Every structure is written in structure tokens, then in C-alpha cells.
């Protein structure tokens, strides 16, 4: 999995690309935790290019969402792929995340 990162004003956009599976979960969590501490929680995940996610990938999303919840923040998923939407719906995890149709809407949600 490739992980792209860019700034849009005061918000960091993290965009994983490809399969989000066991081998990539640790690397992705490290990037999310760095974004959480480096941007005071002002980041979004552009989930449009997540082609596949396994149990470890879901576990990372849940752990980071829980960490953010402890400091009064919500993990924001932008433009989630159809695959990710189906997995979140089937596992009942949809409610843990704030969903946005696109990255711009996610960034604007901080205003």
C-alpha cells in the first residue's frame, strides 16, 4: 500500500492507495498517530483508493477512532470506496466514523 499525505490549509489529508491488509496496518497506524499528534487531530482519511481491507486494517481504523474519541475527536473518512463501505456496513462499524462524500467536504467540516 502507498500512503500519500498532503496539507489543505490546517488539515492533513492522508490517502492510502491499494490493499489495506495485515502487512500494511502497522505502517498506516504509525502515519495516522503522527497526523493525530502533529495536526492536533485535524486530519482526514481519503479512503477512495482502498481496494481491499482485512481484519487488521479494520482494527487499525477502530483503534485510531477510539484514540481520537478519548480526546473529543472523530476519525473522518472521505469518499470511502464501495468495498470499504460494504465492509463497514457488514461489521456494524459505520457509526464509529464521520463520513464525507469527498475530501473537500471533510476538510470544510473543521470550519
Q: What is the value of pTM for the model shown?
A: 0.91
pLDDT at 77: 97
Alpha-carbon distance 21 to 11, whole Å? 26
Write out the chain's pLDDT in tens, 111 residues: 899 999 999 999 999 998 888 888 889 889 888 888 887 778 999 999 998 999 999 999 999 999 989 988 889 999 999 889 999 999 999 999 999 999 999 999 998
CA 39 to chain centre: 14
Alpha-carbon distance 13 to 40, whole Å? 13
List domains and CATH numbers for the chain. Answer: 2-108 (3.30.750.24)
Amino acid at each position: 500500500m502507498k500512503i500519500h499525505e498532503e496539507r489543505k490549509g490546517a488539515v492533513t489529508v492522508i490517502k492510502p492507495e491499494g490493499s489495506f491488509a495485515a502487512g500494511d496496518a502497522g505502517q498506516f497506524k504509525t502515519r495516522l498517530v503522527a497526523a493525530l499528534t502533529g495536526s492536533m487531530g485535524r486530519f482526514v482519511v481519503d479512503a477512495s483508493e482502498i481496494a481491499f481491507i482485512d481484519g487488521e486494517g479494520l482494527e487499525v481504523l477502530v483503534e485510531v477512532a477510539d484514540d481520537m474519541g478519548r480526546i473529543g475527536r472523530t476519525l473522518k473518512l472521505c469518499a470511502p470506496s464501495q468495498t470499504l463501505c460494504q465492509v463497514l456496513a457488514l461489521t456494524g462499524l459505520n457509526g464509529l466514523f464521520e463520513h464525507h462524500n469527498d475530501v473537500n467536504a471533510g476538510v470544510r467540516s473543521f470550519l
